[in-house]
Structure 1
Amino acid sequence: MASTPAALLRRPGEPLRASFLELFFDLAFVLAIGQVSEVLLADLSVAGAARAALLLLPLWWVWVVTAWFSDWFARASGWVQALLVGTTLGVVLMSVAVPEATGGRAVLFAGAYVAIQVGRGVVTALALRGHPLRRRTLRVLVWFGTTGILWLVGAAWPAVRVPAWLLALAVDYGGPRLGWPTPGLGRAAPGDMRLRGGHLMERYQQIVIIALGELLITTGLVYSDTDMAAAQSAAFLLFFAAAVLIGLLYVTPAGRYLGAALDERDPSRFGVAANDLHLVMIAGVVATSVAANLVIEHPTDRGSGMAVALTVAGPALFLTGRVALSAGIYRRLSWPRLLGLLGILGTAAGGGYALPLLGVSATTVAVLLVVAVLERRIARTESVPPTTRAGR
């Protein structure tokens, strides 16, 4: 274990590539994303979607703060490695609790969340005694300690559970935007929140791959339980194509320049915004995974309002997050993605409810394909990072 504060902090020149334990931590999110998808599949209603969102938000915030933590501190340190393993266990426990997180397993879900966020802060603050950067850790710890009370009160008192957790999430997500202002400790300066763009870009790519992996697993498992009739096989191929296209659209072309933008922009603004936009994209993949269950099992049915909405919402949410992220990187809108988003939304407004679910899926995948082709053509002219070009 590290014996001095300096041994705990990230060393100059430390590789940008994710460590083995960071990748191991990401594996816990295969379970987490799958469980959230099951919650939504079990309750295809607006209330069910809201509940799934309520559970996805704290899971995502654990991933974000852990990505920051592993960038700020030396991943070779025994303390850091132990905390990454403990965080992985916490995420698995949160995921186990997800199906009943707003009911009988609320204490497990909230308790694991608080243990991760507060426990990491306590250990890090103790290890950084005497070092100036301890103030940053203490600010974050005070904020998570405050919201931890709300999480535990909500878990123990069902009557206030949802309002307490919503308030806790608002404070958790608002902290870095405000610099975690704390009496006696002040507010974090932009330099205190500085992250290595190359490392964070890789971490984002990995969590997107994890989400797409869960989509592929769902698609394959659902298809394996069908009769593999022609319509079901077509639906399976459509969702496989959707996963491929979402992956291509994520990395082309602006995804290659996200790291440079993170290095050059204000981390309390662009960095935090990038976290939120990736959450929107992950939510889109979750919705697509749920839609895969519905469409592959019943491809020729004219779906209910929620079935059609989810089939359309998945790609639409992904493109919404990707349009906004591309706009942040290039300081302009990506018109192919914007037109694609409008085209997908038009699927619902222009007759999606009159089509069989297979037809709705085919339309959204066709739109994704058109957007991908247009983006590929534009990518040939986007060979220079946007932050190095005039007017960008």
Structure 2
Amino acid sequence: MTSESREELIRTSDAPERATLLELLFDLAYVAALAVTSVQLSVDATPTGAVQLLLLLMAIWWTWTITAQLTDFYHPERRPVQVMITGTMFGTILLAGTIPFAFGSLGWLFASAYVALHVTRGVILLSVLRARHVRARAARFLFWFVVSAIFWMLGAFATDWARFAWWLAAITIDYVASGLRYPTPWLGRVPRKQYEQASAGHLGERYQQFTILALGDLLLMPTLRIGTTEFTPERFVAFLITFVTTLLLWQIYVFRAGAFLQVAIVQRPGRISRAAPYTHFLIVAGIVSSAAGFDLVIGQPTGDTPTSWVAIIVGGPILFLLGRTVFEYVVFRVVAWSRLAWMAVLIAIAPAVTFLPPVFTIATTALVLCGIAISDAIRSHRGSRTLPDVTSLRS
């Protein structure tokens, strides 16, 4: 590969702002991974199962967000970048397939796939890049993924909670190192200006697209369940409620989403690129939990609601709202107090809904989400008092 072609890997002004078709196909692999995670949560709706799945979801999400950063910094239509995207897509399917057995017989495969994805990406980048500053960036990422790989592989050959402890240390390293801008011996941290140079229009759109696709999990899970169980009026009502809840979560997410993107493009792309992975993880985790709750309720819409089911059904929207609220604060430095109040309502009613049938539990949750959507609409009407003007953020 010539020096000129190597330099072309860096995103240039002619790079597409919109996601490429390969990136959209890549996202579909993650829709499958989220569906598998939701199914597993509904099968193992226990505190232990939920905590283990949360850790696995963190690994799967981190693979997506690092790849999104890859296509944001490097040209997504250059051949080496496309090879890395397709390789990551295959690895993601492999990760998803091992989720039910990751804390059992296939822990070695889950850890090996995760490590191989990130280490191989770093090796490829170092082999094709020439400019010193971009090689240093790739080296920083690779260094920390090699460090975390040690813990991933130690956990792969441990058992039970020892495996969880090793993997928790590994994923913590991945998340914290990114938050600290990958401080690396002799190289220092990733310069802030590299985050500011990010194509925020592309990156912001990638997070929005992924979230909308993830919301499809809320339609997929109940549709599959109602299509494979005996039809009853109670199940049909539960199905309708899940559909309405999906629309409400969509409405809550897209509330002023265009303004978010405008701020990201015009003013502070670095803030978006560094905060979005963490805030959107909460959103995605909330979607996975909600989808698992829908699956459980349609399977058994009547009778008492177990405490573990309540945690999944109510916890999903809470995580979603928390991520959405923190993201809005990061961008605008505005606290959505009405949304926080509704979240408090959800937490307060959680103990009471254990005495209701599951179908009434999701109905209650949907009513709270409806209240949030109405509150957001009221805030939008008072936009001049709740949302800073974009030009005021020039600093």
TM-score (norm 1): 0.94
Give the aligned residue type for 2:157: A
Is the contact made by 1:238 and 1:361 (CA closer than 8 Å) also made in structure 2? yes
1:280-319 to 2 correspondences below 5 Å: 280-319=282-321
Aligned to 1:374: 375
The answer to whether the aligner puts 1:188 opposite 2:190 as a matched pair is yes
The AA in structure 1 aligned to 2:176 is G
Can you list the C-alpha shifts for 1:50-70, whole angstroms capped at 9, x where unaligned? 011011011000011000000
| Distance apart, 1:266 and its partner CA | 7.3
What's the TM-score once normalised by structure 2's chain length?
0.93
* RMSD, aligned CA: 2.1
Q: Which residue of 2 aligns with 1:321?
A: 323
- Counterpart of 2:333 in structure 1 is 331
1: CA distance, partners of 2:343 / 2:131:
51
Structure 2 residue 244 is matched with structure 1 residue 244:
no
Cα distance in 2 for residues equivalent to 1:327 and 1:70: 26
- In structure 2, how many angstroms separate the alpha carbons of the residues matched to 1:233 and 1:257? 37
Write the deviation string for residues 147-170 of structure 1: whole angstroms up to 9, x where unpaired. Answer: 112212211233742221111111
Could you tell me which amino acid in structure 2 is paired with residue 212 of structure 1?
A: L
How far off is 1:105 after superposition? Answer: 0.9
Distance verdict in 2 for CA 1:230–1:105, change over 3 Å? same
Q: Quick one: which amino acid aligns to residue 247 of structure 1?
A: W
Structure 1 counterpart of 2:47, which letter? V
For 1:210, what is the secondary structure of its paired residue? helix
1:22 aligns with 23
Counterpart of 1:284 in structure 2: which amino acid?
G
Alpha-carbon offset, residue 47 of structure 1? 0.6
Cα shift at 1:300? 1.8
Q: Which amino acid aligns with 1:222?
A: R
C-alpha distance in structure 1 between counterparts of 2:172 and 2:389, whole Å: 32
For residues 29-81 of structure 1, the C-alpha deviation after alignment (integer angstroms, 9 at most, x for no partner) is 12211121122122211111101101101100001100000000111111111
1:140–1:180 Cα contact (<8 Å) kept: yes
Amino acid at match of 1:315: P
Amino acid of the structure 2 residue aligned with 1:163? A
Q: Is the 2:234–2:302 contact (alpha carbons within 8 Å) kept by the matching residues of 1?
A: yes
Q: What CA distance in whole angstroms lies between the structure 2 residues aligned with 1:240 and 1:97?
A: 29
Give me the whole-angstrom Cα distance separating, in 2, the residues matched to 1:332 and 1:308.
30
SS in 1 for 2:383: coil
Matching residue of 2:238:
235
Q: Percent identity?
A: 35
Quote the Cα distance in structure 2 between the aligned partners of 1:248 and 1:2: 48
Q: For residue 90 of structure 1, what is the aligned residue in structure 2?
A: 91
- Give runs of aligned pairs for residues 59-78 of structure 1, distance below 5 A: 59-78=60-79
1:165 aligns with 2:167: yes
Counterpart position of 2:206: 203
Residue 281 of structure 1 contacts residue 319 of structure 1 at CA under 8 Å; is this kept in 2?
yes
Q: Superposed, which structure 2 residues align to 1:146-157 within 5 Å?
A: 146-157=147-158
Maintained 8 Å contact 1:110/1:152: yes
Contact 2:46 2:308 in 1 (8 A): yes
Deviation at 1:104, TM superposition (A): 1.0
Deviates more, 1:75-84 or 1:2-11: 2-11
**Higher mean Cα deviation, 302-311 or 270-279?**
270-279
Distance 2:216 2:40 in 1: 18
Report the secondary structure of 2:133's partner residue.
Answer: coil
- 1:278 corresponds to which residue? 280
Measure the CA separation in 1 of the matches of 2:20 and 2:347: 40
- Deviation sequence 1:364-389 (CA, Å, 0-9, x none): 10111121122123224438974525
Q: Which amino acid aligns with 2:275?
A: A
- Alignment partner of 1:343 is 2:345: yes
C-alpha distance in 2, partners of 1:225/1:54?
30
Distance in 1 of aligned mates of 2:260 and 2:393: 17
Q: What's the offset of the Cα at 1:130?
A: 4.1
Could you report, residue by residue, the CA deviation over 1:221-271 in whole angstroms, capped at 9, with x for unpaired residues? Answer: 111223332211110000011111111110112x2222344453473x653
Change (3 A) 1:146 1:380: same
Aligned AA for 1:339? A
CA displacement 1:326-378 (0-9 Å, x = unmatched): 222221211332222122222214x2112111111111101111211221232
Counterpart of 2:111 in 1: which secondary structure?
A: helix
- Which blocks of at least 5 consecutive residues in structure 2 are unaligned? none
Number of matched residues?
389
Give me the whole-angstrom Cα distance separating, in 2, the residues matched to 1:242 and 1:48.
25
2:226 corresponds to 1:214: no
Distance 1:198 1:15, change over 3 A: same
Of stretches 154-163 and 200-209 in structure 1, the one that deviates more from structure 2 is: 154-163
Tell me what 1:45 maps to.
Answer: 46
Between the aligned partners of 1:74 and 1:390, the Cα distance in structure 2 is: 32
Deviations 1:189-218 (A, max 9, x none): 101233222111211112112221122111
